[in-house]
Structure 1
Amino acid sequence: MSIVLCAAPTPSASGLLLRPWRDDDVDALLDAYRDPVLRSWTRYPVTTRVEAIAFLRRSRQGWAADRRFSFAVLEASPDGERLVANVVLKDVTPGRPYAEVGYWTAAPARGRGVAPRAVTAVSDWAFARFAASGLTRLELLHQVDNPASCRVAEKSGYVFQEVLAARPPFPRDGHRHVRWRP
């Protein structure tokens, strides 16, 4: 797994490095999930070392199966690189024209344009990597009460398509945003 993506710096933000999760990311993952807001938006919060190790194992398995690609998003800091987000391309199936992109942003990185740049980098990579497999559309889904995710979708080139009715395990209606292959 030597894939590394980059998102260029902006006048007000550092560049981003996106790479597959590694075993030594356990502590950074646990730090990110200490945020109650992040835990409230995720279906499977990571609250223990065992859960963090399982998260990293599932990430490796997804890459190995060539169906789910989770990227740790890192930003340069005075102390080295620090984890600022996660972006995942999931449900990739050869011959199926669509897949889904999901993400979360660590609390200190919110509101600084990290998520849109990271989602754009993974989306561009997905269309290039899976064009021959027939991928023509990416979907980004979120609950209706998460307006920040609407803004991330729009800034990343995803157009609002429809409201999705709530269904387990999601307690609220959702939005589907779509980005088409250029």
Structure 2
Amino acid sequence: MLALPNGLELRPWRVSDADALVAAAQEPAIRQWNRLVVTSQTEACKRIERMHERLQNEQSAIWAIARPDGGQAVGLIGWGDIDLNGGSAEILYWILPSGRGRGTMVEATKRVTQWA
């Protein structure tokens, strides 16, 4: 877990965060720039399971931007399409309206860049 300003943190995604993925997939500003197709709780849970599998396989590293102490996820940030041999990855991020306007994504980007 990594602390962020404004009382938020970066932590692994949990099945209990499925609602945030479904909400993000319905948010026009997120859909415009992300390939997030999640239409149900079941699909969201499967996506979260894949996040954990891809982390174990060193293919991605994706965190929830969340309220502390197990609170609600309001965003996502991480590295996708990791190529350890080539030294590259694609940064992935989005934040729900409830998490916007406080510089949270800027700080989250700094944290995951330091992690990499």
Name the CA distance, whole Å, in 1 between partners of 2:26 and 2:88.
33
Moved over 4 A (4+): none
Determine the C-alpha separation between the residues in 1 that align with 2:45 and 2:72.
18
Amino acid at match of 2:73: L
CA RMSD of aligned residues (A): 2.1
- Map 1:1-182 → 2, pairs under 5 A: 4-7=1-4, 9=5, 14-76=6-68, 81-126=71-116
- Equivalent residues of 1:62, 1:69 under 8 A apart: yes
Deviations 1:56-105 (A, max 9, x none): 1220111110120110111349xx72222100212222332222211001
**2:83 alignment partner, SS class:** coil
Higher relative contact order (CA 8 A, sep 6+): 2
Aligned pair count reads 116
- Name the % identity: 34
Answer 1 or 2: which has greater strand percent: 1
Q: Matched residues in 2 for 1:41 and 1:48: separation?
A: 20
d(CA) in 2 for partners of 1:33 and 1:91? 20
| Aligned AA (2:2) | L
Is 1:84–1:114's contact at 8 Å kept on the other side of the alignment?
no
For residue 115 of structure 1, what is the amino acid of its counterpart?
M
Alpha-carbon offset, residue 54 of structure 1: 2.2
The gaps in structure 2 that reach 5 residues or longer are none
C-alpha distance in 1, partners of 2:102/2:29?
17
More helix by percentage: 2
Relative to the length of structure 2, the TM-score reads 0.84
Supply the AA of the counterpart residue of 2:26: R
Runs of 5+ unmatched residues, structure 1: 127-182
TM-score under structure 1 normalisation?
0.57
Letter of the structure 2 residue corresponding to residue 111 of structure 1: G
